Amino acid sequence: MTSTATPTASLNKFEKLKAEKDGLAVKAQLEEFARIGWEAMDETDREHRLKWLGVFFRPVTPGKFMMRLRLPNGIITSNQMRALGEVLQRYGSDGYGDITTRQNIQLRGIRIEDLPEIFQKFRQVGLTSVQSGMDNVRNITGSPVAGLEAGELFDTRELCNQLQDTITNNGEGNKAFSNLPRKFNIAIAGCRDNSVHAEINDLAFIPAYKNDQFGFNIIVGGFFSAKRCDAAIPLDAWVVPEDVIDVSRAILEVYRDQGLRANRQKARLMWLIDEMGIENFRAEVEKYLGRPMSPAAPKDEIDWDKRDHIGIYQQKQPGLKYVGLHVPVGRLLAGDMFDLARLAEVYGGSEIRLTVEQNVIIPNIPDSRLTQFLAEPLLEKFSTNPEPLTRTVVSCTGAQFCNFALIETKNRAIALIKELEAELTMPKPVRIHWTGCPNSCGQPQVADIGLMGTKVRKNGKTVEGADIYMGGTVGKEAHLGNCVQKSVPCEDLKPVLMNLLIENFGAEKK
Ligand code: SRM
Ligand code: SF4
């Protein structure tokens, strides 16, 4: 049963709008939209369907759209980065780029009249933003140091690319997967440290050997939502790399055809797995696949603590280093993008990598060029050795641009960390994640300390506040943290965080 077979009367608002017109149909209307302008556009096309092209209407800044790209495995060339900088440059102080928690980039300030030219530019440099929003598969994450580190088990780059090409029809848009019941996240782990947060994806592939043959154990159903958060569970299936695409396709088809569509709060994959039972879900995947899947390998290969990749590291290629730069809360200006592109070209292999911690890696820097690279002015802004709290801070978009936000996040996160670092000595980094609302884009549940935006009453007034999460762990023992304290006004957060850092993480007053 597909959604189009469901009687329209029983459909929710989003299913109705998809049944009326496929989101990808707006691709043919871009010239028209550019001509008539955002105010004259059909409201549903403007506020919803454009997201199928990765273009997001922002109620907070009407007329200035956000564009979400797709960067499989978080890899972008210097040419592509420069093209993004050129797009942003024309928007002056409205033009921001943000590295996202899915190893991806979003652009801000975009005008509808520029879209045809922007898409033309994207095509020229091999970029796509298609199907990056609404009921589609999000950016496919992979190991940020794939192909670079000696200890890796599998180079995830090609699989991430192939999977994206399959799902998006080589970036042109693919109606076979443009009407899922809800969003869908996929990650492929190739290293021992689970650098992709596999457990919070709807579908993730985890390295595991069977009889000395390399393959992946599959986990499914991980997700965060305002209503419910769950780590992924084992599908009890093991696949060789050559089968990853077919199995992903089969899982997506089962979800597309049988996923729950009546209530959007209960439409993510885990709800379907709950309803079917994991064994029946597995059997259904095999039916779509047309062959049985091998049971999971008894043990997987994730046995390292998670790394953040900031700093200077030897590659498996002799004489080459990769250098991880800290980008505060992932925010890039057009000038930063030009600088990163230049550094990657002058010192590296014209390639830039992104991490789910919203930072960048420049690979392939010859040892002989390292000293000169480290003296570049950009490294004063994007450090290779930031302070321990600065180093690990992650933040979602928040109230500056997101209409779901209950609080300002990115600017507040940086300001508060600076204040804490001025008063505390930290023996080691503590991962603090900010998220502006319960949608959890900033993943507070994976953090040492997670801060989730909320509204709080203080002295008879409603003020911005945060619920505090703790206990999130990543890497080999990944598991989700829980809410430990509710409704702390943001203006009172500093002493509360100081106490938590002193009592739980060995911080000392200076
Ligand atoms: Fe998210 C919706 C930003 C990662 C869970 N997310 C949104 C929207 C599109 C809401 C909106 O229209 O304003 C946000 C856009 C704000 C803006 O202007 O930037 C938004 N999400 C983000 C980003 C940019 C946060 C960041 O600063 O890094 C991340 C973009 C990733 C990407 O490149 O595609 C982002 N969002 C996530 C993650 C983290 C992850 O994938 O690891 C989650 C939790 C994991 C998950 O999805 O299971 C996440 N976003 C949500 C949800 C809750 C989903 C649900 O099932 O209820 C929403 C709301 C929705 O979809 O209805 C949402
Ligand atoms: Fe917006 Fe909430 Fe996601 Fe932050 S967590 S980007 S505030 S939807």
pLDDT per residue as tens digits for the range 155-194 = 999 999 999 999 999 999 999 999 999 999 999 999 999 9
Amino acid at 7: P
Q: Is 243 inside a domain boundary?
A: yes
Neighbours of 387 (CB within 10 A): 16
What's the whole-number mean pLDDT along residues 263-288?
Answer: 98
Distance CA 492, CA 124 (A): 50
The answer to whether residues 180 and 126 touch, using CB atoms and an 8 Å cutoff, is no
| DSSP strand pairing (449-458 vs 424-425) | unpaired
Say if residue 2's pLDDT is above 70: no
Nearest CA to ligand 1 atom 17: 402
Based on its alpha-carbon atoms, the radius of gyration of the chain, rounded to whole angstroms, reads: 22
pLDDT score at 124: 98
Q: Locate the ligand 1 atom nearest the alpha carbon of residue 108 and give its number.
A: 18
Nearest to 248 by CA among 179, 135, 160, 182: 160
Is the beta carbon of 44 within 6 A of some atom in ligand 2? no
Q: Whose CA is nearest to atom 28 of ligand 1?
A: 100
Contacts 24+ apart (CB under 8 A), 320-323: 320/363, 320/364, 320/365, 320/366, 320/367, 321/365, 321/366, 321/367, 321/370, 322/145, 322/148, 322/353, 322/361, 322/362, 322/363, 322/364, 322/365, 323/361, 323/362, 323/365, 323/370, 323/373, 323/374, 323/384
Give the tens place of pLDDT for each residue, 9-20: 577 899 999 999
Sheet holding 432-435, edge to edge: 394-395, 432-435, 449-458, 461-470, 482-489
* 374 domain residue, yes or no: no
pLDDT of residue 356: 98
Phi first, then psi: give them for residue 197, nearest 5 degrees. Answer: 55, 55
Q: How many of the other CB atoms lie within 10 Å of CB of 422?
A: 9
Residue of 18, 46, 58, 68 marked active site = 68
The pair of structure tokens assigned to 103 is 């190893």
The domain tally of the chain equals: 2
> What pLDDT, on the 0 to 100 scale, is given for residue 4?
42
340 in a structural domain: no
Q: Indicate if 282 and 396 belong to the same structural domain.
A: no
33-53 b/e with 16+ CB inside 10 Å = b? bbeeebeebeebbbbbbbbbb
Task: Look at residue 11 in the predicted model and tell me its pLDDT.
Answer: 79
397 lines ligand 2 (CB under 6 A): yes
Mean pLDDT, residues 325-329 taken together? 98
Do residues 364 and 317 lie in contact, with contact meaning Cβ atoms separated by under 8 Å? yes
Going from the Cα of 443 to the center of ligand 2, the distance in angstroms, rounded, reads 10
Residue 304 lies in a domain: no
Cα 108 to Cα 64: distance, rounded to the nearest angstrom: 7
Could you tell me if residue 353 is inside a domain? no
Residue 108 domain-assigned (yes or no): yes
pLDDT digits (tens, 9 = 90+) for 110-134: 999 999 999 999 999 999 999 999 9
- Does residue 484 carry a pLDDT above 50? yes
pTM above 0.75, yes or no: yes
Ligand nearest to C-alpha 59: 1
Q: Do 215 and 208 form a contact (C-beta atoms < 8 A)?
A: yes
pLDDT of residue 1: 36
By the 8 A CB rule, do 58 and 401 touch? yes
d(CA 366, CA 455): 50
**Domain containing 62: what range?**
8-289
Ligand nearest to the CA of 445: 1
- Within-domain flag for 399: yes
pLDDT at residue 7, rounded to an integer? 53
- Residues 396-406: what's their mean pLDDT? 98
**Listed residues 254, 274, 289: the one ending a domain:** 289
Q: Does 182 participate in catalysis according to the annotation?
A: yes
Q: Is the pLDDT of residue 8 over 70?
A: no
Percent of the chain with pLDDT over 90: 96
Q: SS3 for 150-186, per residue?
A: CCCCCCCHHHHHHHHHHHHCCCCCCHHHCCCCCCECE
Residue 447 forms part of a structural domain: yes
pLDDT in tens, 41-98: 999 999 999 999 999 999 999 999 999 999 999 999 999 999 999 999 999 999 999 9
Q: Taking all residues of the chain, what is their mean pLDDT, rounded to a whole number? A: 96
Q: How many percent of the chain have pLDDT more than 70?
A: 98
Where do we find the tokens 């703790």?
470
Cα 29 from chain centroid (whole Å): 28
Q: Is 453 a catalytic residue?
A: no
Do both 273 and 395 map to the same domain? no
Boundary-marking domain end, from 268, 289, 310? 289
Return the CATH number at 464: 3.30.413.10
The pLDDT of residue 275 is above 90: yes
* Strand-pair category, 213-220 with 203-210: antiparallel
How high is the pLDDT of residue 464?
Answer: 98
Ligand 2 centroid to residue 97 C-alpha, Å: 16
Last residue in a domain, options 232, 264, 289: 289
Q: What is the pLDDT of residue 477?
A: 82
Residues 424 and 285 in one domain: no
Question: Are both 283 and 395 inside the same structural domain?
Answer: no
